[in-house]
Amino acid sequence: MAFLPEERRKKILEILNESGSVTIGELARRFGVSEMTIRRDLDRCRVTGRLERCRGGAVLRGDNVGEEDYSKKRSANLEVKRRIAACCAGLVTEGMQIFLDAGTTTFSIAQELLTVPGITFLTNDLKTALFLSRHRRDVIFVGGHIQNSTGSAVGPLTLEMMQEFFVDIAFVGTACINENFDVLTPTIEKAFMKRAVLRSAKECFLAADSSKFHRSALVRINSLSDYTAVVTDYRLAEEEKRLAETKKIEFIQV
């Protein structure tokens, strides 16, 4: 179906409102026009203040993603999260000390790890801690101020407590990964916490489904290259494969 330029730009903004980000190649294929035409469309939309241009596409202005409600995140991409969780659980052996970051993907990892005996769990996720406790697992809650929207502990007390531990493996999540493979989060408190976890683990794996890629947020945490590996269903384009190789980023694809 052919669209007039204004209709196409309106549709692009609708797609952005739904997904938070778009790529030029994806839009060119969807509308059956050249990538140059899409670039001009995105530049016109940028002038209105509705989006920000980024390498290879665009993100919603202000998507600079904010914190999402836990129940909404829990119901999104369930099957993919289960596959990621199963892969992560396969990296764990009996008797390890494991840190589980706050989030729905890491909650799925907790569910998968119930079959592995002798694990000591550390987590700053209240829901994960209560779930593991109900199943009689050895749990240390890394406490502090509870963020109501996510049920996770953040802030100075959480950081101070985290610094007292050292674990075999940490599994962490993220809200956003941009085109340069930077890892980002909406809040500075979470950035400090995730950096502290990285320092406290022999190995640290980032668990992120494909919806987290090509998104932006206010605060940079670190780079994908800082992690032992990224466990994801995301499929890299050829240009991204070259960038990952240059940055020495390891991907485990599920």
CATH number of the domain to which 28 belongs: 1.10.10.10
Q: pLDDT digits over 20-58, tens only?
A: 667 888 888 888 899 999 988 888 887 666 677 766 777
pLDDT mean across residues, the chain: 88
Q: In terms of domains, do 215 and 157 share one?
A: yes
Q: In terms of domains, do 24 and 45 share one?
A: yes
Q: pLDDT digits over 199-232, tens only?
A: 999 999 999 999 899 888 888 999 999 999 999 9
Q: In terms of domains, do 96 and 136 share one?
A: yes
Q: In terms of domains, do 169 and 214 share one?
A: yes
Residue 19 has pLDDT above 50, yes or no: yes
pLDDT for position 166: 97
Helix H or strand E segment including 236: none
In the block, tokens 């330029």 appear at 5
- What average pLDDT does this structure show over 192-205? 96
For the chain, percent of residues with pLDDT exceeding 90: 62
Q: In terms of domains, do 143 and 228 share one?
A: yes
Q: In terms of domains, do 142 and 239 share one?
A: yes
Q: Are 123 and 100 in contact (CB under 8 A)?
A: yes
User: How many domains would you assign to the chain?
Assistant: 2
Q: pLDDT digits over 82-110, tens only?
A: 999 999 999 999 999 999 999 999 999 99
Nearest CA among 208, 185, 214 for reference residue 54: 214
pLDDT for position 76: 52
Structure tokens, 212:
């987290």
Nearest CA among 67, 99, 48 for reference residue 228: 99
Band (115; pLDDT cuts 50, 70, 90): very high
- What average pLDDT does this structure show over 133-139? 97
Integer Cα distance of 215 and 209 in angstroms: 12
**Alpha-helix runs per DSSP H in the chain:** 5-19, 24-31, 35-47, 70-75, 78-89, 104-112, 126-134, 156-162, 188-199, 238-247
Within-domain flag for 29: yes
Q: In terms of domains, do 76 and 118 share one?
A: yes
Integer Cα distance of 218 and 185 in angstroms: 6
CA quadruple 187, 190, 192, 194: dihedral, nearest 10: -140
Q: In terms of domains, do 46 and 150 share one?
A: no
Domain that holds residue 51: 5-60
Which of residues 98 and 8 earns the better pLDDT score?
Answer: 98
Residue 167 has pLDDT above 80, yes or no: yes
Q: Tell me the whole-structure pTM to 2 decimals.
A: 0.73
Within-domain flag for 65: no
Q: In terms of domains, do 79 and 147 share one?
A: yes
Q: In terms of domains, do 51 and 137 share one?
A: no
Within-domain flag for 106: yes
pLDDT for position 75: 46
Residue 63 has pLDDT above 80, yes or no: no
Q: In terms of domains, do 35 and 105 share one?
A: no
Integer Cα distance of 186 and 216 in angstroms: 9
Taking the CB of residue 167, how many other CB atoms lie within 10 A of it?
Answer: 22
- What average pLDDT does this structure show over 137-158? 92
User: DSSP string spanning 66-86?
Assistant: -PPPHHHHHHSSHHHHHHHHH
Integer Cα distance of 50 and 44 in angstroms: 10
